[in-house]
Structure 1
Amino acid sequence: MESSRFERTVRTESSEIFAIYGGARRVGRIDLHYGRFEVHGTLLLEVDLTDDELQQVIDQIDEELVQTHDPEREDF
């Protein structure tokens, strides 16, 4: 599977939901819930992925969405 693309569909002060696309097809979604010091996520897949593809998606979520989260956002 090629690199995933994330499209935000919902955003609140403490959570975000992203649709996950692999190329042109939607492969799932990730719900992220932000605590003061942690981020919790629920990954929902709509297609079957190999173990390697799943790990690639998880790693990309961690790098692009979780680690870049700024708990002190000023845009709310």
Structure 2
Amino acid sequence: MTDHTSVVGLWVTADGHIRQELRADGRYEEARGGRRGAYTGRYTVTGDHIDYVDDTGFTATGDIRGGVLYHEHLVLHRERTTR
């Protein structure tokens, strides 16, 4: 992966409690439970690695391995949309 388009989409935990939307413009929004926008900020992609900077200045990292996003202690899978 070399750009945002390779990770764009909605990533969710197995229980659906945490939903992280990675947008093509390099922004993200993370929802937790019923709380939309629990975290918002920007992200950059380098290879299979993602660096996050929350709008409050908090930083985090993630890696995609085998189609799974490992974001700090979270394990997220890309949500498939049906049309």
Larger Rg over CA atoms: 1
Q: Give the TM-score of the pair, scaled to structure 2.
A: 0.37
Higher strand share: 2
Larger relative CO (CA 8 A, sep 6+): 1 or 2? 2
Normalised by the size of structure 1, how large is the TM-score? 0.39
Name whichever structure is richer in helix by fraction.
1
